[in-house]
Amino acid sequence: MAPSISRRRLFEVWMKNTKCSKVDSLIAFIMQEVETLSNSESAVISLKSRIKKICQTINSKWEKFGRHRQRFLRNYSSSLSGNVAFSDDLFKGIPFTVDPSLTNPGRPTKTFDACSSKAIKVHLLQ
């Protein structure tokens, strides 16, 4: 089951911080709350983009109600009662080995004997 955090808690953290530090503080809060999240660079970038979208959504609703906390909570209490779930790519992966026969080896190569006579001449002249 994917870990989740309530939207209400995210809103409370969002409210406590200034505009410049909202995204970073939410990322730090989520990393603290959900220990199974990966610390890899790609996971942090994915989490950051998700948090930016959440911040934009909250901010647009916040502006809609004139930055008034009670009106905001009254109108969006049903939305804030839900949870934000995180995708599977943010979880710490289980280490595994890759089967070399399943990977793409790159550009195919020919043996020297299978080359055309022109390629053999070019190779011999070098």
What's the pTM? 0.61
Residues 74-119: tens digit of each pLDDT: 888 888 888 887 776 665 554 445 555 666 667 767 776 777 777 7
* Residues 126, 78: Cα–Cα separation, whole Å: 75
Rounded average pLDDT over 60-85: 83
Helix axes 22-33, 41-64, angle to 10 degrees: 120
Q: For residue 44, is pLDDT > 80? A: no
* pLDDT, position 96: 47
Q: Residue 4: which of 40, 33, 38 has the closest Cα?
A: 33
Residue 26 exposed, middle or buried by CB count within 10 Å (0-12, 13-18, 19+): buried
Beta bridge partners of 83: 6
Alpha helices in the chain (DSSP H): 7-16, 22-33, 41-64, 69-75, 77-80, 117-125
Q: For residue 3, is pLDDT > 70? A: yes
* pLDDT, position 94: 42
